[in-house]
Structure formats: C-alpha cells, structure tokens
Amino acid sequence: MTVDYHAILPELILAGTIMLVLVVDLFLPARLKWGSMPIGLIGVLGSLVAVLTLLGDERATFGGAFVVDNFAVLFKVFFLVAAVIVLAVSRHYIDQPGYYQGEYYFLLLTSFLGCLLMPSSRDLLMLFIALELVSAPGFLMAAFRKWTVTGVEGGLKFFLIGVLSTAVMLFGMSLIYGLTGGKTRLDEVAGALGKLDASQEAMALASILFVVVGFAFKVSAFPFQFWAPDTYEGAPVPVAAFLAVASKAAGFAGLLQLMFVAFIGQHEFWVPIFAFLAIATMTIGNLVALQQRQFVRLLAYSGIAQAGYILLPFALVTTDQAVNQQAFASATAYILIYGIMNLGAFAVAVALSKRSPRLLISDFAGVARVAPFLAVGMTLFMVSLAGVPPAAGFWAKILIFGAAISRGEVLGPLLAAIMVVNSVVSVFYYLAIARQMIFQPLEDTTPVRTPVLLAGVVGLSMAALLFFFLLPGTFSRLADISTLVA
C-alpha cells in the first residue's frame, strides 16, 4: 500500500510542530517560555499553506479511510485559522505565573491535530480517534487553573461526562461493526445497514442512538449540556474559546459525516430525535442565558443555543437529495460563521480579563469610553450572534431558515418558527452586553491596554463578519462541499 503524503501533509507539518514545541520548551529560560507560541504559529501557518495546495483536489488514501475533498479542505482552513486566533489570544493570557506555557501550547496544538483529522476521517475508527484526540487534551487544558476550585471542578466535570459519553459512543460503534459484518468505512457502513433485516435493524437504530450520544456531548446539546458553563468558567479564557469553537466545530464535522453519509438510510428514525434535540437545546440555552451575570457563562449558554440552531438542519433530512444537500450546506455555513463571531467575542473577553478578572457583565459598564475599539467589536459580535444585520450571522440564520422552509411539510416550517422565536429571545441578552458597554456610566476608569495580537484578532473577526455580510454570494459556493451527501 502506498501512502499519499501530499494528502496528509498538513497533518504531518502540524505533528512535526507539536514535537518541536515540546522539545524547544525544555531549553527555554523561564522568562522566554512564551517562545513556544511563535513556533506553534509558524507551524500552523505552514500547515495552512499545505492545506491551500490541496484546494480543489479529490484525494483518498489509507484505503479510503482518509479523504481530502472540498468539505475537508474547508473545515481544515477553518480549524487552522481558529488555531492562529486561539494562539494569538493565549499569548498574553497564559504568560502569567502558574501556567505551564510549553505544555499548554503542546496540548493546544495536539487538540488541533485532532480537529484537522476529523473532517477527513471517513471511517468509524478514524472518527473515534480524531474525536478523542480533540477531547483528551481539552480535558487537561480545562483544568489548567488547578489552583482554583472552579478550574478543578470544571475540568473534572468535563472529564467524567466526556469519558462516559465516549464509552457509550464506542459501544454503539462496536455494535455497528458487528451488525455490518466488520465494516468501518462510512459509505460501506451505509450500504451494509441498508441490507439488514427488520430484527437487526432495531439493533442498528439503538446503536445509532448510542453514537449520537457521544457527539451530542461534544457539541453540548441537551441533555448533555450542563458541563459547558462550569467548564468554560473554570478554564483559562483562551481554552474556553477553543472548547466553544474548535472542539464544537470538530464534533459537528464528525456528526455531519456520520448522519449524512453513514446513517442516511435510517433518517426516518433519527430525524424526530434531532428535531427534539434542536428545539430543546436552543430553548434551554436561550432561557438560561437570559439570567447570566458572568460573561463566559453567558457565552457558554449562548453556545448551547447556537448548537441548537446547528442541529436543526439535521432534522430536515428527507429522501430528497437536493433538500439534504441544502441542509448540509446551511449547517456547515452556520458552524463556520458561529466560529468567527464567537472567537471574536472571546478575544474581547481576554482583552478585558486583565482589568476585571472575574468578567462579570456589570464590570463592562461604560467600557466604550476607555476601549472604544473593543466595545465596537463586541457590539458587532453580539449583533452577529443574535442574527441581526449588519453582520454575517444574519445570513447564517437565513440559510438554515431557508432550508427549513424549502423542506416543507409540517416539520420544516415549525422548526423555522421555533428558531425565529428563539432568535428574538436571544436579542435581549446579546444586546444587553452592548448596552452595558456603551450606555452605562463608566465605574472603573483604569485604562485598558490591548496588545497588538488581540486587537488584530478582533479587527480580523470584524472584517470577516462584515465581508460575509456584504458578499453573501460566497455562500452559494457551499454547494460544492455537499457533494458527499448521498
């Protein structure tokens, strides 16, 4: 068997960078420990260049278990850009006494290696290992503030629930392996599941449910959402950004392939489950978010609500391929736009965390007077998360809404209506942040020093959101990525 090294070049470059970060850290003196970050950054950019050379290619290697296509390339570009942003945001936050910087960057990059593998994995085994490679360093990074009670509690909760759901998912995968007669490739699994008789089909449906549990935890869907607020609050803010964006997007990248490729034949069984998950997740996320006083907790509940919106297209699957492709494209677009606006919001939170370490929403009063740039950025991110123009979040919501309406029957418009009601509710808490920053009197006159890296990240995210808002035509290119939907 020959290996297509060009196809796995981005992963190889990142893997090399990870080892380099680990070794170089040994030789860095204490005050230069942050030096791992630029090394990681260069490696991530190198990997990004390698991904861009694969643009438009269709490659398969390792017997079809690892595939590079438009879907994979799009997600890889997204993950690497997210890696650049999380690295940039971490630089000043982590450079404080008590943090193990070299090990932190090592774990962060290892998690991103899992993210890169995820959209290319077309095999149950690869999907499982990629998901674990994203999660395991995440468990450890979440507990990095081990001198605080919240840090340890959040990390432990994340770990215990994560391990439990992983075990359930792996059990489901093992049952599918048995039922399909030893198939692991996603397209072969789909074929074998279609040929089962009625009694074995019931077993297969239960196994699919088990597999969904593992991913529902990863994307913090109801009823596996309650770890998220505690974990995000206890973790270092850049780690919370990583968990809320990259780790969640990786979970969705895996879930999209599983549901739209491997388990598509059983959609009549799982469509009602996803409809329930989507409604419950977005409603609970939004209602609890209304009552939050701490900003990172608010973002956690907002992230749960947003996961509900992304789960909605899964409930739109029918036997019509065109409808499925539209649903697939709208979910992908939402994940990517969600990533940009959430990373921006976390970057502002990191910038303000030096001034008010507890990040209470009341601490943000009048910040526009001392940090106008951050306040404008935050307002745009909040507007985008709420799905109101002028930001790309508006188009992301419209795409899902359009997919739901064009599916028709009762379920599509019903889900669309519930989504609109939820979006209206979310406007209250998103815009409350903007109001707090702009219209409330300033209480704490300490000036805010924004490092260049953070300002750059905030500016870049704002530019991206405005760009996609003004040029919605870019979304029509998404049809190219849904070719893998059967």
Residues that bind other proteins (CB under 8 A): 1, 3, 8, 15, 18, 22, 62-63, 65-66, 97-98, 100, 103, 106-107, 110-111, 113-114, 117, 125-126, 129-130, 132-133, 136-137, 139-141, 143-144, 146-147, 155, 179, 199-200, 202-203, 206
Q: For the chain, how far is it from start to end, CA to CA, in angstroms?
A: 28
User: Which residue lies nearer to other proteins by CB, 180 or 422?
Assistant: 180
Closest to 173 in 3D by CA, of 191, 159, 186: 186
Shortest Å distance, C-beta 199 to other proteins: 5
Shortest Å distance, C-beta 336 to other proteins: 24
Cβ contacts of 276 within 8 Å, gap of 6 or more: none
Shortest Å distance, C-beta 330 to other proteins: 30
User: Which residue lies nearer to other proteins by CB, 198 or 452?
Assistant: 198
User: Which residue lies nearer to other proteins by CB, 76 or 297?
Assistant: 76
User: Which residue lies nearer to other proteins by CB, 133 or 277?
Assistant: 133
Closest to 236 in 3D by CA, of 85, 89, 341, 114: 89
Nearest 5°: the CA angle 157, 159, 164 is 100
Shortest Å distance, C-beta 200 to other proteins: 4
Whether residue 390 is preceded by a cis peptide bond, meaning omega within 30 degrees of 0, is yes
68 has which bridge partners?
A: 59
- With beta carbons less than 8 A apart as the criterion, state whether 464 and 337 touch: no
Amino acid at 133: L
User: Which residue lies nearer to other proteins by CB, 166 or 426?
Assistant: 166
- With beta carbons less than 8 A apart as the criterion, state whether 294 and 359 touch: yes
User: Which residue lies nearer to other proteins by CB, 140 or 304?
Assistant: 140
User: Which residue lies nearer to other proteins by CB, 137 or 214?
Assistant: 137
Cα-trace Rg, the chain: 21
Q: E strands along 267-312, which residues?
A: none
Run of H or E including 188? helix 186-194
Instruction: Give the three-class secondary structure for 292.
Output: coil
User: Which residue lies nearer to other proteins by CB, 8 or 304?
Assistant: 8
Shortest Å distance, C-beta 193 to other proteins: 12
User: Which residue lies nearer to other proteins by CB, 162 or 387?
Assistant: 162
- With beta carbons less than 8 A apart as the criterion, state whether 290 and 429 touch: yes
Count helices and strands in the chain by DSSP H and E runs: 19, 2
Shortest Å distance, C-beta 441 to other proteins: 37
Cβ contacts of 437 within 8 Å, gap of 6 or more: 364, 365, 366, 367, 368, 375, 378, 379
Shortest Å distance, C-beta 125 to other proteins: 5
66 has which bridge partners?
A: 61, 121
Shortest Å distance, C-beta 1 to other proteins: 6
Percentages helix, strand, coil for the chain (3-state, rounded to 5) are 80, 0, 20
Take residue 464 and report the two structure tokens written for it.
Answer: 């991206």
Looking at residue 33, the DSSP 8-state letter turns out to be: G
Shortest Å distance, C-beta 76 to other proteins: 15
User: Which residue lies nearer to other proteins by CB, 113 or 403?
Assistant: 113
Amino acid at 137: P
Distance CA 108, CA 105 (A): 5
Q: How many CB atoms are closer than 10 A to CB 38?
A: 12
Shortest Å distance, C-beta 8 to other proteins: 7
